[in-house]
Chains A and B, each alone.
Chain A
Amino acid sequence: MTRVTPGAGEKTMCLGGGWSWFVAEKIDFSTVSFLVVDQNPLSGELVRDILVMLGTQIIRIARTTDRALQFLKTEEIDVIITEYLTEPENGVEFVDRIRNGIDSPDRQIPIIMLTANSEPKIVAGARDAGVSEFLTKPFTVEGLYRRLVSVIARPRSYVNSEEYFGPDRRRRQAPYEGPDRRADC
């Protein structure tokens, strides 16, 4: 089934009958602060330039994960965009430290991994470490924007289990008839 989303200002019918005007949601990027972690200064600057064009005012760039952790501990950061190729920890270890580390400043912070390394084991590792979104380089501005919308406007529930802490990895609500292993909220 195709879902059609009305455009901003379009007239739509309400469930109870009658008509209403559909007003599209917007993201005010001037209220969102970002931390970009990338050892390649050019890549970091490019992401920063894109975010500035979107209206973001607070962007911190860290070339190492140690510097990134300093930013997280001393500043209010809303979203992290990190490479996998980082030092001294790689991106997956960095995500794991944020999600599970005892010194983590914010275990539920949205994290987008933006990396050229698209090896299946890296993608799976990032997912299992608790990354919110994954985007492969080379990337398009639309691709990056979709991930930003996802973490800001469509945040997912978090799962806390013995083996995993991070965003719910089930994207679809498929019918399931097996045993319920999830606790109530």
Chain B
Amino acid sequence: MARKAQIIPPRADLKRKAVNLTKGIDLTLPPELVTKLEQVVHRSRDKFVVDLTKRLTAIRRACDAVDQNAMAMPVFIAEVRVECLEIKGSGGTIGYQLVSEIGHLMDVFLREKEALSPVQMRVFRLAVDAVFVVLAQKITGGGAQLEQQVVQSLSVAVRKYR
């Protein structure tokens, strides 16, 4: 017979030393602190944009390399997928929601893939170009109607050619 699960009560040491009624920050984040924290995040925006551009350039180079058979396809997919996840993770955090949305589509497109056909490669490159445009045009937030339509079209392409 399987051993019964043992329930260990929550450890109180961290709570005891950090939680009190007088000093610190309320459990519900005060709006003025939210604003300050968002300013902290936005201060690092420029550094993130430079980083994202480097990652996109690296992806383009990798696409060229794999097209010229200078890079093995499984290695390409593994490496590029990590970059796509970093793009997805960084974009929205610093206010570029569209970058995250397209990064997510790129990640979904590559999931569990071992190779990309020429058509799939073209769709993937389109997504990379779209992220470049969003960063170059500094389109923060969800973008306007046109940008949303571009993302929607990419989403359809990802579903169709995945």
Interface positions of A (Cβ within 8 A of B): 5, 8, 23-32, 40, 42-43, 45-46, 49-50, 53-55, 78-79, 85, 108, 110, 115-117, 119, 137-142, 145, 149, 151-153, 155-162, 164, 168, 181-185
Question: How many residues of chain B get a CB closer than 8 Å to chain A's CBs?
Answer: 52
**Residue B136 interfacial (CB < 8 Å):** no
Chain B residue nearest in CB terms to A139: B93
Query: Does A108 contact B11, Cβ atoms closer than 8 Å?
Result: yes
Sample (24) of A-B pairs whose CB atoms are under 8 Å apart? A24-B28, A25-B26, A28-B24, A40-B90, A43-B89, A46-B93, A53-B37, A53-B40, A55-B24, A108-B8, A116-B103, A117-B85, A117-B107, A138-B89, A149-B27, A152-B18, A152-B19, A153-B27, A155-B15, A156-B10, A157-B9, A158-B7, A159-B7, A181-B4
Starting from the known contacts A117-B85, A152-B18, A160-B7, 6 additional A-B residue pairs (CB-CB under 8 Å) come to A42-B47, A49-B44, A116-B89, A138-B89, A138-B100, A158-B8
- The one of B5, B14, B33, B100 in contact with A152, judged by C-beta atoms closer than 8 angstroms, is B14
Query: Does A27 contact B5, Cβ atoms closer than 8 Å?
Result: no
Query: Does B41 contact A26, Cβ atoms closer than 8 Å?
Result: no
Query: Does B27 contact A27, Cβ atoms closer than 8 Å?
Result: yes
- The one of B6, B34, B40, B91 in contact with A142, judged by C-beta atoms closer than 8 angstroms, is B34
Interface centre among B23, B82, B92, B93 (most CB of A within 10 A): B93
Query: Does B11 contact A155, Cβ atoms closer than 8 Å?
Result: yes
- The one of B7, B19, B82 in contact with A182, judged by C-beta atoms closer than 8 angstroms, is B7
Q: Which residues of B contact A152 (CB under 8 A)?
A: 14-15, 18-19
Q: Which residues of B contact A168 (CB under 8 A)?
A: 7
Q: Which residues of B contact A53 (CB under 8 A)?
A: 33, 36-37, 40
Query: Does B19 contact A25, Cβ atoms closer than 8 Å?
Result: yes
Query: Does B89 contact A32, Cβ atoms closer than 8 Å?
Result: no
- The one of B11, B26, B88 in contact with A137, judged by C-beta atoms closer than 8 angstroms, is B88
Complex CA distance for A78 and B27, rounded to whole angstroms = 18
Complex CA distance for A181 and B27, rounded to whole angstroms = 34
Q: Which residues of B contact A55 (CB under 8 A)?
A: 24-25
Q: Which residues of B contact A8 (CB under 8 A)?
A: 26
Q: Which residues of A contact B160 (CB under 8 A)?
A: none
Chain B residue nearest in CB terms to A40: B86
Q: Contacts A42-B90, A161-B3, A182-B5 known; A28 to B27 CB distance under 8 Å? A: no
Chain A residue nearest in CB terms to B3: A162
Query: Does B5 contact A141, Cβ atoms closer than 8 Å?
Result: no
Query: Does B93 contact A138, Cβ atoms closer than 8 Å?
Result: yes
Q: Which residues in chain B, 71-96, are within 8 Å of chain A measured between CB atoms?
A: 82, 85-86, 88-93
Q: Which residues of B contact A185 (CB under 8 A)?
A: 6-9
Q: Contacts A42-B51, A85-B82 known; A26 to B23 CB distance under 8 Å? A: yes
Complex CA distance for A46 and B90, rounded to whole angstroms = 10
Q: Which residues of B contact A183 (CB under 8 A)?
A: 3-7
Q: Which residues of B contact A45 (CB under 8 A)?
A: 44
